[in-house]
A and B are shown apart, each in its own frame.
Chain A
């Protein structure tokens, strides 16, 4: 087996992590894969970290584009990302693989839900990238005419709104202010529709960014996961709870 890259580093970059056994080299489950010189058919023995779309392949054969040589019958933990979704299954690109052992198993508790594992990893990435993470409640929302781009219309214009959020707890960032101003797009254009449309009374965890720089007098919501309502606690709630338990 080729020397693996650090499993922790690989797991941080791979969305689909599984323990599998190589069934056949230079082969593929998908007929569309032309060059099979670096592909193998691998049986998924245990799914450790996965997006929903790849979470149900345990016990099935899939195609893996290998990053390093491996032998038929060999079992390894594969760190992969999606490549092909076809009518005859899926193919993934491996960033590396490692023999199952304490170093690989420590990253994912046995029997844990692979989708939750990926959500938790991504929540940590969002938390680390944010300028501020708070718990709070939206007290008011206003239009922001001064934020309109100084040009003609584009279908992607965000149509900004500004929410004032009363902070109940600061999990990351400056803990001094009692409220913050947060811009969010009212537009339902494809670029913005997933970004939460806040309204007064919304309560939950807010993951805040300053895309225009520190000098800007407002934070922004830029993605679906930047607001996690109290009524629907998810990975950011779990992460904050874990941090506070430390």
Chain B
């Protein structure tokens, strides 16, 4: 039987916080899995200084928060990943914004950061700063290969017209001054890509990228996209990058996995209290000789007003793809990972109860599912990690302090060896019934009366959104 560990990672000294700690990400040091770092839209509790990240040194059982990310109080986006030798990399959108266009629109700046010692307390070093016309949603991956670090950071590049899927990458990330290149990975003349650009790295040199390439649409509710996967077979070191996989339809780089999908981009509380519009994940089988096995999941609209996740698989380096292995209605934040035994795990957050667009009630809940398949996706186990009220806290709250994304535009799942590690955000009511696989709270609370308390252990604290770490040993 698998064992589950679920931990609310807010430290006890921050028991009074009511931040919306959404859009979590996670990095496990593959050389020392006791060392784990997490990020979320968590501000510096002091109200000034660098942005914080969470750190565990005991495999995720206990956590603290430390401010080492060079960004004013918090980032506008952040993802994190370990390379080798304890090197932690981050892709961030840095705040405050310092460049604006003539209409007052801020131009986001991409930073790629690194620290060789997450315990040193020193601010992370800035390896890349790129602004131009702006960069959005950096999503970083790293791997230790041959004594150095391979780092790929997918992002949506506003410097292209139209905005395009892009990778900033280095094959020598551990170098004191690592050389980074940037390359556009969507070669088709489309109408602009959605924000989610997702890379994944295999140690044999294979790097996949997934993105949503817009093909039509004149308003946010009519946008249509192709789901595209690109591949490079040598860490993008030689030749045209990410050109190894072509589509037989047009002969261009990038296999169209799913065509002409309606994906409304709704920057408002739509699904429960969450926005929708750019949901995507990809993973590769990490085992030697298995880099041809790759999974992709995205969300689109198949009916009148739903938001539906599709999980598909390729076993031939992305050339052909299965039909839906799983189809999950009214769900978001998919993440998939494969462990060292080839076991596939799939996480997502599904809104349950009667769904009404832009409405939420006490009958709606966010269920965070953890599912596994040992037979290439034919059959799946299903463990609910969390089932939490979808209507609390309200969005926007009475003081305007609840924002979008409500839970996040993404979460994260990864494997190190046999174990799966992940993170999700959810309503933090300390009710054990909300966490069927068990849960540990660091912050002060009464799990019998379902009440959070401030650092004094007495003053009640409002419910908010917190990040929850989980580990699964199959």
Contact = CB atoms under 8 A, between A and B. Distances in A.
B404 A90 contact: no
Nearest to A147: B103
A32 B57 contact: yes
Given A51-B47, A149-B101, A194-B401, A155 B14 contact: no
Contacts of B136: 154-156
A189 B403 contact: yes
Interface of B, secondary structure class, is loop
A166 interface: no
A47 B366 CA distance: 42
B354 interface: no
- Contact-residue bracket for chain B: 35 or more
Contacts of A52: 16, 47
Contacts of B442: 87
B464 interface: no
A53 B46 contact: yes
Contacts of A149: 101, 103, 105
Nearest to A34: B119
A82 B100 contact: no
Interface string A209-246: 00111001010100000000000000000000000000
A187 interface: yes
A153 interface: yes
Contacts of B12: 86-88
B13 interface: yes
B271 to A, nearest CB: 14
A157 B45 contact: no
Contacts of A187: 267, 404
A83 B66 contact: yes
B400 interface: yes
Which among B22, B156, B193 has the highest number of chain A CB atoms within 10 Å? Answer: B156
A85 B400 contact: no
A93 interface: yes
Contact of A197 (B11, B66, B220, B400): B400
A90 B13 contact: yes
A154 B76 CA distance: 12
A90 B15 CA distance: 12
A188 B396 contact: yes
A89 interface: yes
Contact of B104 (A81, A87, A193, A216): A216
Contacts of A83: 66-67, 121
A101 interface: no
Interface in A102-159: 118, 122, 144, 146-149, 151-159
A211 B96 CA distance: 12
Contacts of A197: 400
A190 B11 contact: no
Contact of A152 (B100, B120, B214, B402): B214
Interface string A186-206: 011111111011000000000
Given A85-B64, A153-B220, A193 B402 contact: yes
B386 interface: no
A239 to B, nearest CB: 17
B106 interface: yes
B195 interface: yes
A82 B11 CA distance: 14
B65 A189 contact: no
A68 interface: no
Contacts of A76: none
B367 interface: no
A30 interface: yes
Given A152-B162, A155-B278, A54 B66 contact: no
Contact of A86 (B11, B93, B193, B404): B11
B161 interface: yes
A113 B414 CA distance: 46
B403 A188 contact: yes
Contacts of B65: 84-86
A157 B107 CA distance: 10
B13 A85 contact: yes
B217 to A, nearest CB: 9
A75 interface: no
A56 B455 contact: yes
10 contacts: A33-B121, A54-B45, A84-B65, A85-B64, A188-B395, A188-B404, A189-B267, A189-B403, A193-B404, A216-B102
Give me the 4 closest cross-chain CB pairs, A-B, nearest first. Answer: A152-B192, A193-B403, A82-B46, A86-B64
